[in-house]
Structure 1
Amino acid sequence: MNWDHAIADYTHYLKIERGLSQNSVSSYVLDLKKLIKFLDANKISASPVSISKEIIQQFIYEIAQELNPRSQSRVISGLKSFFNYLVFEKYRTTNPTELLEAPKIGRKLPDTLSVDEIDTLIAAIDLSTELGERNRAIIETLYGCGLRVSELIELRLSNLFFKEGFISVTGKGDKQRFVPISHTTEKYIEIYRTQVRNHMPIQAGFEDTLFLNRRGKQLTRAMIFTIIKQLVKLSGLQKNVSPHTFRHSFATHLLENGADLRAIQLMLGHESITTTEIYMHMDRSMLSDIMNTYHPRR
C-alpha cells in the first residue's frame, strides 16, 4: 500500500463512515501530506504499512520547531486517527503513534464581543450601498443565530422558516438542526432579500443560496473574513474579530442572561456538552450570582 492509496481509502472512510465535513477531511489529509513531505525531504523510504514509531517521532520533533502546541496536538491526533484506521482495516498490526504524547495546552477561552461592540461594528456598515444591507444581514445572522461561517455561506432560502420562527442549518458532518431566529434577524434578512437580492443577476445553480456576492454566486469563507476585518478597521475596535467571534458572543450572552446550557448546546450543534461547557468558564461572577440566588443556604 502506497501513500496515495492509503489517503484515498482514509478520505472515503472519513466522509462515508464518520460523516465528516469536507473542511474536516481536508485538515486530516493536510496533516498526512506534511508527513509525506517530511519523508521526501529526508529521503526516507517508508510506506504507511512500514513506517516506524522512530520516524514518526522524528517528524513530530521537526514540526515542533514550527508549530505551536495546539497545532502540534492537532497533527498528532490526526496521525493517531489515520494509523488506528490502518490497524482497524488490518493493513497494520500496530499503531506507531500509540505512545506519542501531545503537548500540554491550556483550555483557550473564546474571544467575545460585548453587545455595545457588536452594535459599533454594525454601525460602521455603509447602508447606502446594496452590499451594506447584505453585510448587515450577515452580521445579524452570525450573532443572532450563532452560526459557523460554513453554515452561513451554505444557508438557503428554502432553509428559512420565518413563520415557525426557525432556520434549518447544516452543520458538521452534514448534520441538520433547527435554530430559533429572532424577529430582529428575520427583519434584516428580509430587507436584504426583498430590496437587494431580488434585483441581482443570479448565476445558475445559486438561485436558492441566501447570501450572494456581486456576481450572483455563493460567498466564500474568505470573503466573510474580509468583510468582518474591514468592519473592525472602520469601527476602530482594537480586537481580533473573526466570524467565530459572533458565535462565541451568541453563546456567552445567552448564558449570561440565564439560558440553559443544554439549550445552548442544541442551538450551537455541539455533539458533546463538554464543548459547550467552555462558556461556563467565561464569567465566574455569574456562577456566584446563580448560587446566591437559587441555593437554599444562600
Structure 2
Amino acid sequence: MTAPTLTSLIQGFFTDRLVRQRQSSPQTIAAYRDSIRLLLLFTAQKAAKPPARLTIGDLDAATIAAFLDHLDSDRHNSTTTRNARPAAVHSFYRYALPLIPEHAQTASQVLAIPQRRYERAIVSYLTETEVDALLQAPDRTTWFGRRDQALLITALKTGLRLSELISLTTEDITTTIPGAAVRTMGKGRRERATPLTRQTLAVLRPWLKETCPLPGAPVFPTRNGTPMSADAVQRLVAKHAATAAHRCPSIAAKNITPHTLRHTAAMTLLNAGVDTSVIALWLGHQSPATTHIYRHADMAIKERALDRVTSPTTTPGRYRPPDTLIGFLEQL
C-alpha cells in the first residue's frame, strides 16, 4: 500500500476529519486553514521547494519550533495567537499518526511541543458612563451610524462573540415581547438564545425595518448587503471609541475591542447580582469556571468582602522586644 503524501493527508484532515467527522464550525476550519497555510509557506521557503512537494519529514519538530520562533520574531504575534498555531498542527498530527506509523517518532516529537504559558491580565470593561458615551458616538443621521449603533448596543447588551455578531441573520432575531431574543450557534456548536432588553429593541426594530432585509440577510451588512468582516467591526469599534473619548476621557486609557464589549456585558450582569453560572450560560461558556475571570475584575466584590473582615485591634508599627530589666521587674 502506498504511503499517503503530505498533500493527501492535509486534504483528508480538512475534508474528512474536520468537515465530515467532527462537523467543525466554519470559524474553526478557517483558523486551522490559516495556521497550516502559514506553516507550509514557511517550510517551503526553508526547504527551497514548492508547498505541494513538501513531505511529512519536512514538518519535523525542529521545523515547527523554527516556525514558532518566526511567529514571535518576524510576525510579532501575541502569545494567544502563537498558541493557536501549534494547536492546529497538533490536531493534524493526531489525525495523521495512524496513517503514517513509519513517522511515529516525528509525530510524537511534534505533539510534545508545549504551548507557551503567559500572564493573564485582568479583563478590561466599560463603566456605565463609558457605555453611554460609546453608544452616543455614531452619527445617527447616516446609514452607517445607525448600523454601527445597532451593532454596538447588541454587543454590549448580549455579550455575543465577534464571529456570532457578524454571522447574525434576520431570522436569528425575535423582536416581539415577550420572547424577544437573539439565537446564535456558538463555540462547540452550542445553540443558545440571549434575551434582548427594551433599550436594545428600541434601536434594533427601526434598524431592521430600515434595511428591508430578505430572509437570511445579515443583520449588520455592508452597503453591498454582504456580512461585515471581523476586521471591519474591529475598525468601527476603535473609531467610535476614539470619538467617545472626547466625551468621556477615561475611555482613552483603555484598549477597546469587540471582546471588550463582551466583557462589559458580563460585568454588567455580575454587578447586578447575577450568578456566575447564569452568566456562563448567557455568554455560551462551556464551563462556569471560565466566568470566574469577571470576579477577579470586579473590585466592588473584593471591597464588600473586605468590609466583612474584622479589623485587627493591634496598633500598627514595628515590633520591638521588651527591655529585659523592665520585664524582670514586671514579673515580680
Q: Distance in 2 between matches of 1:250 and 1:90?
A: 46
Q: Residue 23 and residue 136 in structure 1: after superposition, are their counterparts in 2 closer, same or farther (change >3 A)?
A: same
Which residue in the other structure is 1:197 paired with?
Answer: 211
Do residues 231 (structure 1) and 223 (structure 2) align? no
Confirm or deny: 8 A CA contact 2:6 2:56 kept in the other structure.
yes
Are 2:101 and 1:101 equivalent residues in the alignment? no
Query: Distance in 2 between the 1:175 and 1:291 partners?
Result: 38
Deviation at 1:221, TM superposition (A): 2.5
- Cα distance in 1 for partners of 2:186, 2:273 equals 25
Asked whether the 8 Å contact 1:83–1:96 carries over to 2, the reply is no
User: Residues 254 and 43 (structure 1 numbering): CA distance in 2 closer, same or farther, change over 3 Å?
Assistant: same
Equivalent residue of 1:240, what SS? coil
Q: Which of 18, 23, 27 lines up with 1:23 in the alignment?
A: 27
Select the residue among 110, 120, 123 that pairs with 1:110: 123
Extract unaligned runs of 5+ from structure 2: 246-250, 309-332
SS of the residue aligned with 2:193?
strand
How has the CA–CA distance of structure 1 residues 42 and 256 changed in structure 2, closer, same or farther, with 3 Å as cutoff?
same
CA-CA distance at 1:119 after TM superposition? 0.7
Task: Assess if the C-alpha contact under 8 Å between 1:134 and 1:211 holds in 2.
Answer: yes
What does 1:61-80 correspond to in 2, within 5 Å?
61-66=69-74, 67-80=77-90
Where do residues 206-285 of structure 1 align in structure 2 (5 Å cutoff)?
208-236=217-245, 237-238=251-252, 239-285=254-300
What does the per-residue CA deviation read over 1:175-204, in whole Å, with 9 as the maximum and x for residues that have no partner? 32111111111111012123x223xxx6xx
After TM superposition, the score normalised by the length of structure 2 is 0.76
**2:330 maps to which residue?**
none
- Partner Cα distance (2:136, 2:64) in 1: 51
Indicate whether 1:35 and 2:45 are aligned: no
Q: How many residue pairs are counted as aligned between the two chains?
A: 287
Describe the superposition over 1:127-174 as per-residue Cα deviations: whole angstroms up to 9, x where unpaired: 222332222211110111111122122222222233313221122344
In structure 1, the residue matched to 2:322 is none
SS at match of 1:96: helix
Structure 1 residues 160 and 109 mapped into 2: Cα distance closer, same or farther (>3 Å)? same
The residue identity in structure 2 corresponding to 1:114 is: T
Aligned residue type for 1:224: V
1:56 equivalent to 2:67? Answer: no
1:6 counterpart (5, 9, 12): 9
Residue 125 of structure 1: CA displacement? 1.8
The answer to whether the aligner puts 1:139 opposite 2:152 as a matched pair is yes
Instruction: Name structure 1 gaps, 5 residues minimum.
Output: 294-298
Distance 1:248 1:122 in 2: 16
Greater CA drift, 263-272 or 226-235: 226-235
Higher-Rg structure is 2
User: SS at 2:157's partner residue?
Assistant: helix
Q: Find out whether 1:91 has 2:100 as its counterpart.
A: yes
Letter in 1 for 2:224: R
Residue 151 to residue 5, structure 1, CA distance change in 2 (3 Å): same
Aligned to 1:296: none
Equivalent residues in 2 for 1:125-204, closer than 5 Å: 125-161=138-174, 162-163=176-177, 164-194=179-209, 196-198=210-212
Structure 2 contact 43–59 (Cα < 8 Å) conserved: no
For the residue of structure 2 that corresponds to 1:97, the secondary structure is: helix
Q: What TM-score, normalized to structure 1?
A: 0.84
Change (3 A) 1:251 1:130: same
| Structure 1 residues 206 and 284: CA distance shift in structure 2, 3 A | same
Shift in alpha-carbon separation, 1:233–1:197, aligned structure 2, 3 A: same
- Structure number with the higher helix fraction is 2
Partner Cα separation in structure 2 for residue 76 and residue 273 of structure 1: 26
CA offset at residue 208 of structure 1? 3.8
Alpha-carbon distance in 1 for matches of 2:218, 2:144: 16
CA distance 1:123–1:278, shift in 2 (3 Å): same
Post-superposition CA distance 1:192-220 (Å, at most 9, x none): 123x223xxx6xx7654322333333333
| Identity in percent | 23
Q: Do the aligned residues in 2 keep the contact of 1:159 with 1:168 (CA within 8 Å)?
A: yes
Displacement after TM superposition at 1:51 (Å): 4.2
* CA distance, structure 1, for counterparts of residue 69 and residue 231 of structure 2: 32
